[in-house]
């Protein structure tokens, strides 16, 4: 531990930045989702429930604090995002599909649940109107994030296989996710401002949300890249088990070769002709004539082929 008299301005600033990051991450991952859920439950029950107030995330005053809070919020948002997405996938299963429509629907439902259920309403805002605005904003944002993520990930530059090294998969995932987060951040800034009745978003809101969602998309893509190998192997196993085995080939014995014409023997007993000489025995098969020796060779050849 550094003695108090040796604490420098840089170490104080570093500790402040780390504290800002940690507070923003905890608030985004735990505190805000729990407060959003308990606030909604209390509204439905007609009784206000206690809220968590373990950390406070004040408005950042410096660029480093802004970045620390954005990075912390992006890391923390992975927790409610993965949890809500798992519920959506568990509820709809294979009906979502893997096409652009399926990933858009998955992202839209995930964002709708996060905005309406897990995002608390600040004091003084109309409850149901604000909840609906948050739900529509997050639904459009995460739907676009999924669609652009699928499109960017399908590019050759970001392609990967089960044999791609881990660091390469993570790097490609981070790059593709960061690019996908830029339009999603722009959409979030505009949708949030419009649905809350403020008109188009300011440039500061747009750039801030684009930076925040670029960080979130990069983290999401990095996690996806790290898990890509297991998904590839799982998909290959499913494909192998779904294949119908080819029927076994039935081996049939060859049919014996049968002559097309009946075989006739002429002088099989070797009778003599009028000159006293023995007439050779001949065998005819159709228009072909064989001696006995020739016919034996033909029969042997046919038996061998059979």
Percentage of the chain beyond pLDDT 70 is: 73
* Separation between Cα atoms, residue 163 and residue 160, nearest integer Å: 8
Residues 128 and 158 reside in one and the same domain: yes
Q: What is the pLDDT of residue 201?
A: 96
Contacts of 262 (CB under 8 A, 6+ apart): 285
**Residue 184 predicted with pLDDT over 70:** yes
Residues 25 and 98 reside in one and the same domain: yes
Residues 163 and 44 reside in one and the same domain: yes
Q: What is the pTM of this model?
A: 0.72
255 located within any domain: no
Q: Which of 43-52, 64-73, 271-280 has the lowest mean pLDDT?
A: 271-280
Residues 98 and 215 reside in one and the same domain: yes
Q: What is the mean pLDDT of residues 269-274?
A: 53
Residues 46 and 182 reside in one and the same domain: yes
Residues 197 and 268 reside in one and the same domain: no
Q: What share of the chain is helix, strand, coil (3-state, %, to 5)?
A: 65, 5, 30
Q: Mean pLDDT in the chain?
A: 83
Confidence of residue 97 (pLDDT cuts 50, 70, 90): confident
Residues 183 and 272 reside in one and the same domain: no
196 located within any domain: yes
Q: What is the mean pLDDT of residues 257-279?
A: 53
Which residues are 263's β-sheet partners? 285
* Separation between Cα atoms, residue 119 and residue 35, nearest integer Å: 8
Domain end (from 195, 211, 242): 242
Q: What is the pLDDT of residue 95?
A: 84
**Residue 82 predicted with pLDDT over 50:** yes
CA 21 to chain centre: 30
253 located within any domain: no
Q: What is the mean pLDDT of residues 228-241?
A: 61
**Residue 239 predicted with pLDDT over 80:** no
Q: What is the mean pLDDT of residues 129-153?
A: 97
Q: Which of 93-107, 211-225, 236-250 tops mean pLDDT?
A: 211-225
Residues 80/33, Cβ–Cβ less than 8 Å: yes
Q: What is the mean pLDDT of residues 120-127?
A: 92
247 located within any domain: no
The domain of 282 spans 263-305
Residues 223 and 292 reside in one and the same domain: no
Residues 168 and 295 reside in one and the same domain: no
Q: What is the pLDDT of residue 296?
A: 73
Percentage of the chain beyond pLDDT 90 is: 59
Domain count, the chain: 2
Residues 146 and 272 reside in one and the same domain: no
The more confidently predicted of residues 298 and 201 is: 201
Residues 149 and 277 reside in one and the same domain: no
Q: What is the pLDDT of residue 279?
A: 56
230 located within any domain: yes
Residues 197 and 282 reside in one and the same domain: no
Q: What is the mean pLDDT of residues 18-22?
A: 93
């Amino acid at each position: 531990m550094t003695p108090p008299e040796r604490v420098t301005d840089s170490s104080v600033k570093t500790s402040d930045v780390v504290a800002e990051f940690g507070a923003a991450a905890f608030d985004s991952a735990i505190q805000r989702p729990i407060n959003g859920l308990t606030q909604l439950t209390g509204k439905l029950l007609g009784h206000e429930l206690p809220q968590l107030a373990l950390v406070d995330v004040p408005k950042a005053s410096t660029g480093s604090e802004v970045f620390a809070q954005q990075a912390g919020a992006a890391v923390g948002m992975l927790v409610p995002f993965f949890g809500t997405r798992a519920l959506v996938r568990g509820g709809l299963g294979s009906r979502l599909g893997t096409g652009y429509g399926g990933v858009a629907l998955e992202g839209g439902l995930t964002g709708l649940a996060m905005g309406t259920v897990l995002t608390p309403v600040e004091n003084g805002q109309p409850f149901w109107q604000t909840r609906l605005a948050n739900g529509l904003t997050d639904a459009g944002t995460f739907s676009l994030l999924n669609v652009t993520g699928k499109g960017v990930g399908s590019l050759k530059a970001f392609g990967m296989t089960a044999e791609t090294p881990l660091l390469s998969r993570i790097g490609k995932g981070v790059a593709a996710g960061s690019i996908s987060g830029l339009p999603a951040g722009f959409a979030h800034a505009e949708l949030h401002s419009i649905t809350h009745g403020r008109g188009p978003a300011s440039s500061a809101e747009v750039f801030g949300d684009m930076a925040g969602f670029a960080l979130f998309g990069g983290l999401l893509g990095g996690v996806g890249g790290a898990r890509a190998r297991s998904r590839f192997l799982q998909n290959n196993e499913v494909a192998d088990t779904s294949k119908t085995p080819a029927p076994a080939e039935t081996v049939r014995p060859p049919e014996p070769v049968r002559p097309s014409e009946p075989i006739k023997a002429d002088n099989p007993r070797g009778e003599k002709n009028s000159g006293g000489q023995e007439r050779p025995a001949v065998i005819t098969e159709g228009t072909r004539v064989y001696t006995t020796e020739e016919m034996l060779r033909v029969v042997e050849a046919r038996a061998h082929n059979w």
